[in-house]
Amino acid sequence: MYLDEFQAKLAKEPMPPVILLSGDAEDSKVEALNAIKRTFLAKNPGSRVQYIDGDPASFMVALDDARTASLFRETKLLICLNIQKSLQNETSADALADYLIAPSEDHVLTLISPGGRKNPKASAALKHNTWSVECSGLAPWKALDWALGESRAQGLVMGRDVAQALLDKTGNDMIRVRQALTILQTFIQPRNQLTVADLSSVPLPGAEPEVYEILDVLGKRRADRALELLTLSDAGEGGAVPLLYGRVRELLAIADARARGVKQPDVAKELGLNPFRFKNLWEQA
């Protein structure tokens, strides 16, 4: 399940014995983990939260502790970082699979797989009694409606075209979209109606800053490195290409104004760009 589904499920259903957080969006993992801690401590006042490293020895001790906890009725949230270390060890992976057959009712085990996509070893071991959370961008078919709902929750009004333009800049990451909406809410006051022009007038979190580096590399005629950066971009090729197109147009417009002898403050007014954003463009042009 994705982060938004997980948050809704966590609010309505009892916590499972094991929760796996995987994926490449570290901010989303932090938000998911904070939600787990808040929910667990609210339901189990006075309980302990314990962090353990993912090496096999520490993990085996944690599993043994969870198995024997019911004898002493101590409720604990165990957060295991770098779980891939343990799942690469056959003994600890088998121990986890055995634990999941009859997990402790007093513990919630949260496993965090850093970076990358879903850990295949984790997926194989965690078939039972587990919620698996994909901490990456929102599913593409959900992103647009979710962004519209989030804007309404923040007291903003925007059309579907504006929401899509926002996602083109931030990608489908929930944290980035929320951060961008907070920035925009402050920027457009006292208005509450967002426009596409507003999105181009203020720096927003997301893939946009990566475009500067790609263009710098292209300017040095290093197409191979530019292609590599484009592939690694958080927005991916589909999201970064529109940003590149828009940035090149702006840079060409600035270069043209310079050639006509237009002064820097007048160029910013002529193009209708935010001064902070214009400064970066002016330096790159």
Q: What is the pTM (predicted TM-score) of this model?
A: 0.53
The residue-averaged pLDDT of 157-186 equals 84
Q: Tell whether the model's pLDDT for residue 276 goes beyond 50.
A: yes
Contact 246, 215 (CB under 8 A): no
User: How confident is the model over 73-97, as a mean pLDDT?
Assistant: 74
Q: What b-and-e string marks burial along 197-218, b requiring 16 or more CB atoms within 10 Å of the CB?
A: ebbbbbebbbbbebbeebbebb
How many whole angstroms separate alpha carbon 271 and alpha carbon 156?
A: 26
Residue 238 confidence (pLDDT): 45
Looking at residue 237, its pLDDT comes to 43
Q: Residues 10-42: pLDDT tens digits? A: 888 888 888 888 776 666 777 788 888 888 888
Q: Is the pLDDT of residue 271 over 80?
A: no
Q: Over pLDDT 90: what percentage of the chain? A: 2
CA separation (Å) from 255 to 107, 210, 250? 62, 21, 9
Q: How far apart are CA 28 and CA 15, in angstroms?
A: 19
pLDDT band at 52; cut points 50, 70, 90 = confident
**For the chain, how many residues are written?**
285
H/E stretch holding 20 reads: strand 18-22
> If residue 19 lies in a helix (H) or strand (E), which one and from where to where?
strand 18-22
In the three-class reduction of DSSP (H, G, I as helix; E, B as strand; rest coil), residue 263 is classed as coil
